[in-house]
Amino acid sequence: MTADRSPRVRGSRRGFTLIELLVSLVLGVIVLSGVVQMMIVQGKGYRKQREVIDVRETAREAAVLLSWDLRQSAVGGSPLEAMSAVTVVLRSPRGLGTICAKHATLARYGLWKTGGNIFAGADDSALVYQLGRDKWTPLKITAVGTPAAMGVTACAWPGARPPDVVVEFAELDKQGLHTPIPLWMERNRGKIPWVKEEYDRVKGGKLPTIAGDIPHPK
């Protein structure tokens, strides 16, 4: 007996047809387009959310700064500089110090323990509190310099160190300036009597009375 050792013939292997390749390619392009579109939408959403966060942070910082300026703008009874429908111009302290010395002949004063920045620009002024008179006096800052340059080299008390900075003042009347008149006074001085009185005070160069002294209309 002899055994048949001839190899068996297997079925031939088939590859992908051209149509199958085209269908696969189209499906891949559709899936890839969907992924890309989803990434674009997510990117736009992230950028939009980032813009919203930036706007909120900016608004929060602006609110903090504005609230500080509004609180400090009433120091010494100072009124708002001007107000319109969309803008508010106000004066707010940017520096402070304690007067410790005075020049022998000029209106120059040494300031001790100063904080912030003190300038002598066109719009810069000062409020000086007088302990004996218990009042604030508005003055114009005409110059700011070092103790050596301004001639005030030491504070008044013995053994004291030099002032931090020296400023030169001038009275507002001598500069042809006046206390700013708020817009609400301009608009209501002909309608409300007590507003007219406050307007006349400010127009005459005096500071307005504090809020507690202003009579409220009945």
pLDDT in tens, 93-114: 788 888 888 888 888 999 987 7
Mean pLDDT, residues 36-59? 89
Q: Write the burial class of residue 101 (CB in 10 Å: 0-12 exposed, 13-18 middle, 19+ buried).
A: buried
Domain spans, the chain: 19-72, 94-173
Q: How far apart are CA 104 and CA 7, in angstroms?
A: 126
Determine the residue type at 169. F
Give the closest residue to 207 by CA, choosing from 179, 168, 169: 179
pLDDT for the residue numbered 166: 92
**Predicted confidence (pLDDT) at residue 135 exceeds the cutoff of 60:** yes
Provide, rounded to the nearest whole percent, the portion of the chain with pLDDT above 70.
72
* 88 φ/ψ angles, rounded to the nearest 5 degrees: -135, 120
**Predicted confidence (pLDDT) at residue 41 exceeds the cutoff of 50:** yes
**pLDDT-based confidence at residue 144 (cuts at 50, 70, 90):** very high
Q: How far apart are CA 16 and CA 139, in angstroms?
A: 94
pLDDT for the residue numbered 81: 63
Give the closest residue to 207 by CA, choosing from 182, 175, 176, 174: 182
Q: Which of the listed ranges 72-81, 144-153, 209-218 does the model predict with the highest average pLDDT?
A: 144-153
CA distances from 76 to 25, 128, 130, 156, 201 (A): 79, 9, 11, 26, 15
Q: How far apart are CA 48 and CA 135, in angstroms?
A: 53
Tokens of 200: 């006349």
Q: How far apart are CA 82 and CA 92, in angstroms?
A: 13
Task: Answer yes or no: are the C-beta atoms of 147 and 162 closer than 8 Å.
Answer: yes
Q: How many CB atoms lie within 10 A of CB 201?
A: 15
Query: Assign residue 66 a region: left if phi > 0, alpha if psi is -120 to 50, beta otherwise?
Result: alpha
Q: What is the mean pLDDT of the chain?
A: 76
* 95 φ/ψ angles, rounded to the nearest 5 degrees: -160, 160
